[in-house]
Amino acid sequence: MTIHKLNPKLDLVLERVVDVPPALVWEAWTKPEHLRHWFTPKPWTVKHCEVDLRPGGTFRTIMGGPAGEEHDVAGCYLEVVPQKRLIWTDALLPGYRPSANPFFTAIVELEPSGKGTRYTATAIHRDEEGRKKHEEMGFHQGWGTVLDQLLEYAKKL
């Protein structure tokens, strides 16, 4: 079924089991009024969220940082199978137009597990160059200054 091959140096797979039925988990992933509550790790927040839930349809979030910075991520859905599978990417803009800075494709798969749901989130990333670009954009979601300074120190040791 799966066509994607994972590269352990670039890609991530996270699996969770929640005591909530698949219908609710699907809703949380696909409705802006829900996404805004959890999609961005604190202290960042979701300032704007657009969803047009069909292949080629918009998935856009504008995230706001604690210092007033903004990060706008726009892409489109590639596959929408209600309560089973959701795939989107920032490599294609809404309407499948190729984007300037492609970085990731994300796959969320759900399946019933007892009365709850087992879901898997897979993030497929671009190569080393894409990573660098992403970092240069200053995308340090949720990373405190103190920690950054600490890591700077550690590099010198």
Partner 1 sequence: MAAAAHTIDSVFRALADPTRRLVLERLVHGPESVSGLAAPFDMALPSFVEHLRVLEDCGLVNSSKTGRVRTYQLVPKRLREAEDWLAKQRHLWERRLDQLDAYLLEMKERRK
**What is the contact surface with partner 1 in residues (CB under 8 A)?**
8-10, 12, 14, 16, 18-20, 24-25, 27-28, 34, 37-42, 121, 123, 125, 131, 135, 141-143, 146-147, 149-151, 153-155, 157
Q: Which residue matches tokens 């993030």?
A: 123
Question: 97 or 155: whose CB is closer to partner 1?
Answer: 155
Question: 56 or 121: whose CB is closer to partner 1?
Answer: 121
Question: 40 or 78: whose CB is closer to partner 1?
Answer: 40
Question: 28 or 56: whose CB is closer to partner 1?
Answer: 28
Instruction: Supply the minimum distance, in Å, between the C-beta of residue 52 and partner 1.
Output: 21
Instruction: Supply the minimum distance, in Å, between the C-beta of residue 102 and partner 1.
Output: 16
Rounded distance, CA 55 to CA 77, Å? Answer: 5
Instruction: Supply the minimum distance, in Å, between the C-beta of residue 136 and partner 1.
Output: 12
Alpha carbon distances (Å) from 40 to 26, 123, 127, 157: 17, 15, 24, 33
Instruction: Supply the minimum distance, in Å, between the C-beta of residue 96 and partner 1.
Output: 26
